[in-house]
Each structure stands twice: as C-alpha cells, then as structure tokens.
Amino acid sequence: MEKPMVSLQRYESSPDSLRELVRLCNGFSELKPHHQVFIKPNLVAMDSQYPMALYGIFTTTRLVQDMVLLLNEFGVGNITIGEGSVRAKHFALPTEGIYEALGYPSLAKRYGVRLLDLLKGPFEKVGFGEYSLQIAKAALETDFFINMPVLKTHNQTMLSLGLKNLKGCLSTKSRKFCHRSDQVLEDHISSFVEKLRPALTVLDGIYGLEKGPFYLGAAHRMNALAASKDPLAADILGAALAGMDAAAVPHLRKYAERHGRSLRPEDVEVRGTPVKDLVKRLKWDNTWNEENTGPRAWERMGLRGVSIPKYDKTVCSGCSGIYGPILTMLMTGYKGEPYQEIEILTGKVMKPSGKARKTFLLGNCMIKLNRRDPGIREAVLVKGCPPTLEDVQKGMIQCGVEASLDVYRMFRDSLVDRYKGKEGFDESLFYLR
Ligand code: SF4
C-alpha cells in the first residue's frame, strides 16, 4: 500500500516557506483555477474584556494571507475564509469582530476573499449513523477545502490539530451535543473529517502551545509547518512535531481503527525538513491530586478547603473558558486560611460529594442536574450558558472567596507579559496592517 505523504518545512519567510511546503506535498494537484476554495483557520475565541496573546492559540494571520496569495498566483478567484469562533455573552468577540481585529478585511479588499461567520449558518443536517449534526453549508459545499489548524495541545483531547479544527464548522447546538457525555467527544472529533473531507491540511506550528488550548497555555516558537492531502497523516506528523505518539490520542486512534490505518510516523512518507529538526515536546495537561479535588500545584501552595474536580469532556467551550478564571480567583483570593469547604462542579455529569458546606454549580447544565440533590447543603447557582465572569465572581464571593476582577486582570496581564520582548514572539504575524 502506498504511504500517505506529508511535507514539513521550517517557517522562514512569507510566502516562500508555505509555497515550498505546498509544492513538496503536491498540495494543489487537484486544484483548478475555477474552484471555489474554502479556508478554515483556527480562531477559536477572543476575549473582549481581558488581554490575550494569540501565540499557539490562533492560526497566524500571516500564514492565512500566504495561502490566499498562493491561491491567487494559481489563478483562483473564488476564496472564502470561514470560522465559527466561540461566542460567550459579554466576554467573547463574534467572529466578525475577530476578523476585524486581525485585519482580515484587508484580504477581502485586496483579493476579494469572502469572510464568513459560520455560526450564522446556513447549516445542513448531516447524518452520522444514529444522530445528525448541523454543519455549515459553506464548508460542505466547497470544491476545495483547506484546513489550517494550529499545533496545540488540548486539555480534553490531548491535541487539537486538523481533525479537531473541523469542529468549528458546526452550529453551537451541535458542538454542545458533542459534549453531552464523557464518552462521546472523541467519537465525534474522529468523524467530522468523513463529511467535510479537506483536500489539503496545512498545520501552522510557527508557534506550538503546551497545556492548551487557550490563554493559560504556554507558547513556544517552533517554526514548524506541515502539509498533506491526507488529513490523518497531517495529524500523525503534527503529533510527532509535538513529541507525542499519535496512537495515544484517542480521536486519532478511533479514526485509524475505523479506517484500518496505521498511526506510526514510519508509515508516512515525509518530504522536506526532518521531524527531528522541528520537534518540540509539548506537555498537554495539568495534573490533579489523587483525591481529584484540585490541581497538584495547590498542594505546594497549601491551598485547602475547596474541591474542584478536574474538568471532564462534557464541559463545552463556553464553560471551559471560565475554568481558568475560577482557578485564578481561588488562587489569588487565598489568604492562607483554608476555605470553608466549598465544592465547585462543572460540565454536565458531576455530582456533589455530600461533604461540602457550599456547592458552586457552574452553568445551567450543572444547575439543572444538581440543584435539588440531597447531597448539597447550600447551593450557589451561577446561571448562564455559559455564565458571565461577573456572575462567577458573585458566586465566588458567596462562597467566601475574595474574588477580585482587578486581580484577575493583573493575572491576565501577566500572561500576556510573558511574551513581550521575547525573541521570536511577533504580534505582527497575527495582526495584518
Ligand atoms: S452551561 Fe456550560 S456546559 Fe452546559 S451547555 Fe452551556 S456552556 Fe456547555
């Protein structure tokens, strides 16, 4: 059997590095100038209230621009860029706002590129055996789908590469459906690719993110680019670039099992720069203590009196974006005295332990499941889907935590400051002038 092929390149200049990458994998061999091309970058979500560095979280805008340039050189005149960035009332920009902030309208102006917010639809109901999902028609009906994920780790799925990036083509309702129980997320992520069928995957590893997928992660300048016409092969090499074994990533394993595919990098033909010259081992997860009541780091801090079981796979993106602020408020609000037996429950399936004095229920799913549970002495209901940060703060204060949004802002500033003046961290790769 012929090996699937992936090209690897060190990112050195725009657009030449991408041009060589695409040439090496024959990425445009099926492309015709009259094709309607759809590009799906990863612009997962942008905070509208607090500063946020985009390294390793978003596809670099420069690389998307490079792709548009190459398509333009090829004679393609009909290009759409589509993304459905996660919306959360009061603290996340809509996709159009993100396009605007990053300078995407200049691509629209210069090259006639159409910019779409996929969350606005229209959607098509697509069958996946026993259920169906709503997928944006623009992504389904294109002649040539170019998937442009980022090289990042993910606390629920280990890695977020090409197969995972396709989740951004779903409606919000369908995305939530994918998190309905702790068992199904991997099945879903392994199957979007069977309906969307990217013709080319270009993995942007200019920055790689460990402990991702969002702003709490730590980015590294890696300058790694990978491309393939075979979506699984691109993800296998993406895992290798992150120093991970693709066979350890559940959604890749599920896809490979269904299609009788190997996950060994040796079974992929690599053209261009060897993996060993680009690899950077990325840690993917935060470890929790054995009792599952909080991050291990809290043991070192001596932080006691609170239990927050580790996020499970039922926490969808809206509420998972609040996990960071909750942990931060608990850490920055800690004054050396144990908290008064608080329990914080998240997602859709967690149940109270029966030991807490106050139980903080994050979001409508937890409230619906647990508000009348006899194991709860006093429930603190933080409503919303997802709740706002202000409501989270109020809930924390009700639990006796000195939660301050000013302190939270300082923490967020410090996350951005990590990259300021650091060699290789260049905001102009994200913000087009
Ligand atoms: S409340 Fe949270 S976990 Fe539940 S559907 Fe809304 S965002 Fe998802």
Radius of gyration of the chain (CA): 22
The reply to whether 238 falls in a domain is yes
pLDDT given at position 19? 98
The reply to whether 413 falls in a domain is no
Mean pLDDT of 287-313: 94
Contact 155, 311 (CB under 8 A): yes
Q: Is 388 in the pocket of ligand 1 (CB under 6 A)?
A: no
CA distance 11 to 277: 12
What are the structure tokens assigned to 162, written together?
A: 């090409």
Residue-wise pLDDT for 348-361, tens only, equals: 999 999 999 999 99
pLDDT given at position 92? 85
Residues 160 and 261 in one domain: yes
Residues 270 and 342 in one domain: no
What are the structure tokens assigned to 263, written together?
A: 């996950």
269 DSSP β-pair partners: 5
| Residue 379 CA to ligand 1 centre (angstroms) | 18
The reply to whether 205 falls in a domain is yes
Asked whether the predicted pLDDT for residue 127 surpasses 90, the reply is yes
Residues 248 and 329 in one domain: no
Q: Report the number of secondary-structure helices (H) and strands (E) in the chain.
A: 15, 16
The H-assigned helical ranges of 93-148 are: 95-102, 105-111, 137-140
CATH number for 140 = 3.40.50.11440
Over the chain, what is the mean pLDDT? 96
The reply to whether 428 falls in a domain is no
pLDDT given at position 423? 97
Strands 144-148 and 200-210, bridge-based pairing: parallel
The reply to whether 411 falls in a domain is no
Residue-wise pLDDT for 212-265, tens only, equals: 999 999 999 999 999 999 999 999 999 999 999 999 999 999 999 999 999 999
Mean pLDDT of 127-134: 94
Q: Which atom of ligand 1 is nearest to the CA of 318?
A: 7
Residue-wise pLDDT for 304-322, tens only, equals: 999 999 999 999 988 988 8
Strands 123-128 and 131-136, bridge-based pairing: antiparallel
| Residue 171 CA to ligand 1 centre (angstroms) | 14
Report the run of H or E that residue 257 belongs to, with start and end: helix 250-259
- Which residue shows structure tokens 């919303």? 384
Contact 25, 271 (CB under 8 A): yes
Q: Is 176 in the pocket of ligand 1 (CB under 6 A)?
A: yes
Among protein residues, the one whose CA lies closest to atom 4 of ligand 1:
365
Residues 376 and 308 in one domain: yes
Mean pLDDT of 127-151: 97
Question: In Å, how far are 81, 150, 256, 355 from 248, measured between CA atoms?
Answer: 32, 19, 12, 35
Residues 242 and 376 in one domain: no
- Domain boundary among the residues 284, 313, 337 is at 284
Q: Is 319 in the pocket of ligand 1 (CB under 6 A)?
A: yes
Output the 3-class SS for 92-103.
Answer: ECCHHHHHHHHC
Residues 351 and 247 in one domain: no
CA distance 274 to 278: 7
Residues 270 and 330 in one domain: no
Range of the domain at 367: 297-402
Residue-wise pLDDT for 67-95, tens only, equals: 999 999 999 999 999 999 998 776 789 99
CA distance 56 to 151: 7
Mean pLDDT of 179-207: 95
Asked whether the predicted pLDDT for residue 145 surpasses 80, the reply is yes
Q: Which atom of ligand 1 is nearest to the CA of 314?
A: 3
Residues 355 and 244 in one domain: no
pLDDT given at position 286? 82
Residues 153 and 174 in one domain: yes
| Residue 386 CA to ligand 1 centre (angstroms) | 5
What are the structure tokens assigned to 431, written together?
A: 């913000």
Residues 36 and 153 in one domain: yes
Count of the separate structural domains present in the chain? 2
The reply to whether 178 falls in a domain is yes
pLDDT given at position 57? 98
Mean pLDDT of 133-153: 98
- Domain boundary among the residues 229, 259, 284 is at 284
Residue 86 CB partners (closer than 8 Å, separation 6+): 44, 45, 92, 317, 318, 321
Asked whether the predicted pLDDT for residue 181 surpasses 90, the reply is no
Under DSSP, the state recorded for 351 is -
Residues 344 and 276 in one domain: no
CA distance 380 to 41: 38
- Domain boundary among the residues 250, 284, 318 is at 284
Mean pLDDT of 197-216: 97
CA distance 216 to 323: 10
Q: Is 365 in the pocket of ligand 1 (CB under 6 A)?
A: yes
Asked whether the predicted pLDDT for residue 182 surpasses 90, the reply is no
pLDDT given at position 310? 93
What are the structure tokens assigned to 264, written together?
A: 């060994």
Residues 16 and 161 in one domain: yes
The reply to whether 291 falls in a domain is no
The reply to whether 110 falls in a domain is yes
